Structure 1
Amino acid sequence: MFPSLSPSNIPVIGNIFDKGRKIKGTVVLMRKNVLNIDLNSAVSSVVDGFSEFLGQIVTLQLVSSVHADSANGSKGKVGKKASLESWLTTLPSLTAGQQAFTVHFDWEDDIGVPGAFIIRNNHISEFFLVSLTLEDFPNHGDIHFVCNSWIYPASKYKKDRIFFSNKTYLPSETPAPLVKYREEELESLRGDGTGERKEWERIYDYATYNDLGDPSSEESTRPVLGGSSTYPYPRRGRTGRPRTTKDPNTESRLSKVMTFTIYVPRDENFGHTKMSDFLTYGLKSVSQSIQPSLNFLDKEFDSFEEVRDLYDRGIQLPTGILSSISDKLSGQILKEIFRTDGERLLKFPTPQVIQVNKSGWMTDEEFAREMLAGVNPGLICRLEEFPPKSKLDSQVYGDQTSKITKQQLEINMGGLTIDEAIKNKKLFILDHHDPIIPYLRRINQTSTKAYASRTILLLKEDGTLKPLAIELSKPHPDGDQFGLISEVHLPAETGVESAIWLLAKAYVVVNDSCYHQLVSHWLNTHAVIEPFVIATNRQLSVLHPVHKLLHPHYRDTMNINALARQVLINAGGIIEDTFLWGRYSLEMSSKIYKDWKFYEQALPADLLKRGMAESDPASPNGIRLVIEDYPYAVDGLDVYFAIYTWVQDYISFYYKTDEAVKQDSELQSWWKEAVEVGHEDKKDDPTWFKMQNRGELIETCTRIIWVSSALHAAVNFGQYPYGGYILNRPTLSRRFMPEKGTPEYDELSKDPHKVFLKTITPKDKTITDLSTIEILSRHTSDEFYLGQRDDGPYWTSDATPLEAFKRFGRKLEEIEGKITSRNKDGKFRNRYGPVNMPYTLLYPSSEVGLTGKGIPNSISI
């Protein structure tokens, strides 16, 4: 603890307690050792004491917003230095770990109202600066500076750190004395594009995904993603690490023991949040300790009951294994994440999908319902032509047209014909064909065995979907140019045919699991947002209204993406090890990125594209859903248009005309860089907005916020509730469908469950899967949800946007009530399904932990 404060032990330096004409301020910060996590003894205590902050250790200088200094390039005049003084113990606004200090600035007539302050840290260690508040500034009132930034020793910076007040200015409206400071701060954030980045730096720059593999061996070599028409990809944050000697196009990777030294701009790094750091250590533990230590397990589950034992009893460890793993993990990790009692390890919480009904997942209704209300609800499309066709090049892949016949479907359509069903918008398809076919031959040459799949479904009168047929396809054995070999499987409830049908659904879900993780989740949220994070920090000043609008929706995204490149999506990482696409995972997502369009990231545009909605001017939002009971779309549209209204209110306050958008130099530079550099491989897409009017800016910001918050929540926080039961969402298939006359077929008829288990994800990879997605599905203790901000109530000084933000929060509370009511309405069967699991993934708020609900502001895990 700090020493007690009394007149006898407070050093008096100079004249700091002569308050004469002084401006009083309060500085809130957190010390580095408060933020560090000692995994063996929890958070370390503060031991440095109060005295080290006295004198000239930390100094601040006010910068004028009204008076320029001609001797300093006409920049705002800089006041005298002031130092931190009394340690405040009773400030009510402080949160855990924060400390507050008073500071007194000399009143200087030629400074006037300050618009910024300069801070210099002369101590040997960094600290996290939360805020500065000037109290009752003459003729002005309180002035707030929201900082939320790491301050390293002054020797680490080329220029002293500067922070601006919470005023918001378009570039053309910036007070003249602050213009140069505004420009210089952006220049420092851009850097010069050279050198290896250091921990304390704040430089935002771009790089391709050239750090996933290690060219020292063929097995670990991966292509560079980004910068070519063959492998287009969004850009990531540049680290500047040296290139490998084997391949100068590939950046060297960090060793496993250096996982946490991967560079991201310092304020993007975990460290201000204990729980986020803890989750990061959990991922590292899975990658480095749990995953390599599972060779003691039998390869296969013996029964469905043994799978359920993961939640009911846990896994019995052989002698010596626990101590081996414990040597690599801290006691706190073992206890809090892996729940060992010293005898068993990895006793998982029961996933929601089997909490009420342990066998409901096996039904056709649940299989189909999860396409509308599961963890990957944005892929199903309305079938508009029959038979389904492929977009693959027929010169390379031959005829890839579906082999499903009308007769096969119509026997289960209750007298309805295919043509009638298409006309009446009753047929739907989950299509996992084109993305996998180009890679399927290579995938099947490994230990995995898989099919491309097409699943056709019928919309029933009760609003639920009924699977009609599953087509499983493989490349022709004589060559790709000869097209495909297909098997069509129809629903069955008894005999060996029912076992075959359950396997057919499993092959579909394996494909869906891969597409979900690598495309719907990673590519379409994590990867595509990172270029906007970089461009915003490089081109939009913290004074800019669009920076203030978007900043909360970028929190921790660069850091979690960097961690993913290190342990999740890298060569040999957790995803490659446990998902069907294996070493081709990121490469396949690159091929799919070729068709990515920013315009289609709006939920209404996406629904229209997939035929799941139609334009309808009479509807409140201008579109009408084809399936009324589509939980993801129903709740999602409410959230999407709440975001849109908030953004519209906000943007309209700062931009009174379209001309103001066109004339905003920072905004134009931001958008040009985001499109032409951040998404360089897609820059020629004609659907990009031109950023020439307020409507385009509103649409752009709405899409960025939707993807960063609600879309990510919809595809992330259901991972464990649905996928934590591996039978429901397997990630691998290892055997082809048994054929009649083979021993495998005989085994299937005698013990279908055992064949199912031998086909899907094996036991060791299931443990890795579950350990990972349980971590990734949790909400942290310091999470900020949509409608909240992590920069407090003073993020802007403008009353109108503050009131609009309050209305946004109230609208989200209203949406929560509507979701609750819908989930209680029995007519909406897709909101619960046979598993009796309510759809809450787009319920805006949440408690801490594994809740299956809640929309955080950003992609923070």
Structure 2
Amino acid sequence: LPSCPVRVRADGPLGRLVLVRLRLEARTGLPDLDWHCSRVEVREDPQVQEFLCDRWLQPAEGDVELRSGKCELPLKLEKKTVPLEYSVYCTMHELKQLQLQQKLIRWRRFVDGAPQCVDVNSLAELGPNLSYSHKSPTPNVHYLKGFAGRTEAWASFAELEAVFAHIGHQNRTAGFVKAHWKEDWYFGYQCLNGCNPLMLHQTRLLPPNLSVTADMLRPFLSGGSSLEQELERGNVYLLDYEVLDGVPANVINGKQTYLCAPLCLLHLNRQGQLVPIAIQLQQSPGPQNPVFLPSDPGCDWLLAKIWVRCADFQCHQLASHYLRTHMLGELFCVATLRQLPEPHPLHQLLMPHVRTSLQINFQARMTLLAANGVFDKASGSGLEALPVLLSRASDRICYASLCVPEDLMQRGVDKLPQSHYAQDALRVWGALHRFVVSWVDLYYRGDDEVLQDSELQLWISDINAHSFNHSSGFPPTLRTKAEVSTFVTMVIFSCSALHASLNFSQLDFALWMPNAPASMCRPPPRVKGSLTEDDVVSFLPDVNSTCRILTALALLSQPAVDFVPLCHYKEVVFRDPAHRRLVEAVQADLAAISDDITQRNSQLELPYLYLSPGRVENSVAI
């Protein structure tokens, strides 16, 4: 918006000001418009007092009070050499503001056992300071919408290819997926660098419910090696979708669909490829739950991999994408608004990364996740499954899995040469962590000041009270500067880089639908050796539900025209010289990472783009 200074002359000296009170009044006959105020400056030569505002004012809001000064911790204010009345007044002012916020911003339970959300019934209740406009280029989905009336199954892979020729010819990644989706090496590659790189983990002990033997797997291991040796060397990996076990499957177009909870064993071979070597489609072993192997007939092995990809679609959409970025972003935003007053330095640092989550999540709950929405009409995990899956996934969340270095190390994917997601995530996390450490150092001189910050402790308590169970490993208190820095880095990474990697990649890997089917129309096979290619096609989603999913993904995968890149800030507080130096340093760090990723990608047949900082949005805004 263009800057329009408003000057007011005082009749006499003002003395020391504690706060400035603003009120926007509607005048009869004039438009009732909101006004945005950047700051108030009070000039009495040679001194200038600044009162930051950086918010929209509304006539219905009444008085808005601005406190003098910059970001400040409550304990620092108490120790200042200022009159006691000033310190007490500022403390009471902040308390009053928080009490007002807590009346306006309330918690609501969306799903039992999952992180809670903001309690609003319309976007208007958020007001202009928690709302935003998102200008995305509109993808051409006219062709896809033309299939809305076709409730039957696809006739053949040839028909799917004909549709793909119209919708996917300009998408390089989707073309690569279509060319290689049947190949075992590419199946493993997607576990590391696809739209859901969070499921794969190294295992040195086979799950007791996976019915495989060393003799069964010997033909698929590196020459002469045994299963025991490969487990010991750390070359065996597992995908386990047990969170889906028993989850009710959706009814689409009046027909029952099916879900399964596969176990998939993968082997890191001597060529550095991660390839699947065994797939069991259900958790409980038995004669009607065979283990599929690469040596099985081609259609059997292909269908088993498709079932795994369908399970991954459900976990990606709800457990990885929606829960770990959208729901967590809203959790952190609500707690910040309720417990950290605006002058608190962590309020100012966090809000640019979490503010947008309130609006986008409300819109998702009203559309995508509601009756007649995409999940209801086209996903195997529909409205009945949604609360079950979100609750279970929340119950399995642990704090370490949200912290990139610990997560990648615990899952054993941090050193895999082909894991571009892991490499890029570690570097982006490192840059964000250095930035946050420097920010924390500006305001906390030592760990004792962290413990004494009552607002910070109420913030983490509020997060714990409205998020996960007590075994999640979330810190009950924040005791040291290091703990604060790690936690805040986790918040920023989850709401920016992680969301970018999970959201903006999804159309690329799902545009060729058999690679990521949202549902399956027939139950998992109980025997091997009886399938044809036409049989495989008959398992896939109906035509209209396929196109409904692709239409939604096309809209969700579009970056905004006016998106804010990672660690770019429009807020006034970041113009402070000390803050500006930190921002310039992290932006330089991130620019160097972008350059390195561009250089690496120039050598790759399939570039990995999603964590290049210049493409990462600063918050969850779509």
TM-based fold match above 0.5? yes
Give the 3 Å change call, closer, same or farther, for CA 716–349 of structure 1 in structure 2.
Answer: farther
Task: Tell me if 1:666 matches 2:455.
Answer: yes
Secondary structure, in 3 states, of the residue corresponding to 1:435?
helix
Task: Tell me if 1:468 matches 2:260.
Answer: no
* 1:570 corresponds to which of 370, 376, 394: 370
* 1:773 corresponds to which of 553, 557, 560: 553
Correspondence for 1:760: 540
* 1:639 corresponds to which of 428, 445, 451: 428
- Mapped contact 2:290–2:526 kept (Cα < 8 A): no
- Mapped contact 2:177–2:515 kept (Cα < 8 A): no
Secondary structure, in 3 states, of the residue corresponding to 1:568?
coil
Distance 2:511 2:69 in 1: 44
* 1:724 corresponds to which of 495, 511, 515: 511
Secondary structure, in 3 states, of the residue corresponding to 1:770?
helix
Correspondence for 1:490: 293
Alignment of 1:304-703 (within 5 A): 304-310=157-163, 312-313=165-166, 350-355=170-175, 358-386=178-206, 388-389=207-208, 401-413=209-221, 414-432=223-241, 434-439=242-247, 447-473=256-282, 485-492=288-295, 497-582=297-382, 583-612=384-413, 625-676=414-465, 678-679=466-467, 681-683=468-470, 685=472, 687-703=474-490
Task: Tell me if 1:300 matches 2:153.
Answer: yes
- Deviation of 1:117 (Å): 4.5
- Mapped contact 2:171–2:508 kept (Cα < 8 A): yes
Give the 3 Å change call, closer, same or farther, for CA 643–168 of structure 1 in structure 2.
Answer: same
Distance 1:581 1:720 in 2: 18
Structure with the greater relative contact order (CA < 8 A, sep ≥ 6): 1 or 2? 2
- Deviation of 1:539 (Å): 1.3
- Mapped contact 1:147–1:163 kept (Cα < 8 A): no
- Mapped contact 1:475–1:484 kept (Cα < 8 A): no
* 2:101 corresponds to which of 189, 193, 204: 189
Correspondence for 2:7: 103
Task: Tell me if 1:266 matches 2:127.
Answer: yes
Output the amino acid matched with 2:92: K
- Mapped contact 2:290–2:527 kept (Cα < 8 A): no
* 1:810 corresponds to which of 588, 594, 605: 588
Task: Tell me if 1:233 matches 2:53.
Answer: no
Task: Tell me if 1:708 matches 2:495.
Answer: yes
Higher mean C-alpha deviation, range 714-723 or range 102-111: 102-111
- Deviation of 1:626 (Å): 4.1
Correspondence for 1:59: none
Task: Tell me if 1:820 matches 2:620.
Answer: no
* 2:565 corresponds to which of 766, 785, 804: 785
- Mapped contact 1:553–1:857 kept (Cα < 8 A): yes
1:563-619 superposed Cα distances (whole Å, 9 cap, x missing partner): 11111123443123222222212322201211212343101121233233xxxxxxx
- Mapped contact 1:295–1:764 kept (Cα < 8 A): yes
Give the 3 Å change call, closer, same or farther, for CA 268–517 of structure 1 in structure 2.
Answer: farther
Task: Tell me if 1:838 matches 2:607.
Answer: yes
Give the 3 Å change call, closer, same or farther, for CA 295–684 of structure 1 in structure 2.
Answer: closer
- Deviation of 1:662 (Å): 1.4
Secondary structure, in 3 states, of the residue corresponding to 1:690?
coil
Distance 1:118 1:683 in 2: 44
Distance 2:50 2:484 in 1: 30
Give the 3 Å change call, closer, same or farther, for CA 541–738 of structure 1 in structure 2.
Answer: closer
Higher mean C-alpha deviation, range 377-386 or range 165-174: 165-174
Distance 1:119 1:188 in 2: 16
Secondary structure, in 3 states, of the residue corresponding to 2:52?
strand
- Mapped contact 1:732–1:760 kept (Cα < 8 A): yes
Correspondence for 2:81: none
- Larger Rg: 1 or 2? 1
- Deviation of 1:638 (Å): 0.4
Percent of aligned positions that are identical: 23
Distance 1:740 1:606 in 2: 37
Output the amino acid matched with 2:219: I
- Mapped contact 1:540–1:670 kept (Cα < 8 A): yes
Distance 1:498 1:266 in 2: 57
Distance 1:741 1:550 in 2: 53
- Mapped contact 2:214–2:228 kept (Cα < 8 A): no
Distance 1:556 1:459 in 2: 40
- Mapped contact 1:168–1:543 kept (Cα < 8 A): yes
Distance 1:573 1:508 in 2: 24
Secondary structure, in 3 states, of the residue corresponding to 1:455?
strand
Distance 2:16 2:287 in 1: 77
Give the 3 Å change call, closer, same or farther, for CA 557–378 of structure 1 in structure 2.
Answer: same
Give the 3 Å change call, closer, same or farther, for CA 800–99 of structure 1 in structure 2.
Answer: closer
Alignment of 1:212-231 (within 5 A): 225-226=111-112
1:416-461 superposed Cα distances (whole Å, 9 cap, x missing partner): 10110011111111112x2122336999996113432111111122
Secondary structure, in 3 states, of the residue corresponding to 1:438?
coil
Distance 1:311 1:125 in 2: 50
Give the 3 Å change call, closer, same or farther, for CA 264–840 of structure 1 in structure 2.
Answer: farther
Q: CA RMSD in A?
A: 3.1
- Deviation of 1:741 (Å): 10
Distance 1:188 1:208 in 2: 21
Output the amino acid matched with 1:452: A
Correspondence for 1:275: 135
* 2:106 corresponds to which of 205, 214, 231: 205
Distance 1:712 1:484 in 2: 41
Give the 3 Å change call, closer, same or farther, for CA 127–473 of structure 1 in structure 2.
Answer: same
* 1:138 corresponds to which of 29, 45, 52: 45
Output the amino acid matched with 1:821: Q
Count the aligned residue pairs: 606
Taking structure 2 as the reference length, the TM-score comes to 0.89
Unaligned runs of 5+ in 1: 1-94, 192-202, 210-224, 227-231, 242-260, 314-346, 390-400, 477-482, 613-624, 826-831, 846-853
Correspondence for 2:63: 160
- Deviation of 1:799 (Å): 2.5
Output the amino acid matched with 1:122: A
Output the amino acid matched with 1:839: Y
- Deviation of 1:769 (Å): 0.5
Output the amino acid matched with 1:533: C
* 2:33 corresponds to which of 107, 126, 141: 126
- Mapped contact 1:268–1:556 kept (Cα < 8 A): no
Distance 2:473 2:597 in 1: 37
Higher mean C-alpha deviation, range 566-575 or range 536-545: 566-575
Correspondence for 1:217: none
Unaligned runs of 5+ in 2: 78-85
- Deviation of 1:797 (Å): 6.0
- Mapped contact 2:169–2:175 kept (Cα < 8 A): no
- Deviation of 1:785 (Å): 1.5
Distance 1:505 1:655 in 2: 52
Output the amino acid matched with 2:109: T
- Deviation of 1:141 (Å): 5.1
- Deviation of 1:509 (Å): 0.1
- Deviation of 1:305 (Å): 4.2
Distance 1:803 1:169 in 2: 18
- Mapped contact 1:579–1:732 kept (Cα < 8 A): yes
Secondary structure, in 3 states, of the residue corresponding to 1:467?
strand
- Mapped contact 1:119–1:160 kept (Cα < 8 A): yes
- Deviation of 1:126 (Å): 3.5
- Mapped contact 1:568–1:575 kept (Cα < 8 A): yes
Distance 1:349 1:114 in 2: 63
Task: Tell me if 1:147 matches 2:51.
Answer: no
Distance 1:485 1:790 in 2: 59
Secondary structure, in 3 states, of the residue corresponding to 1:668?
helix
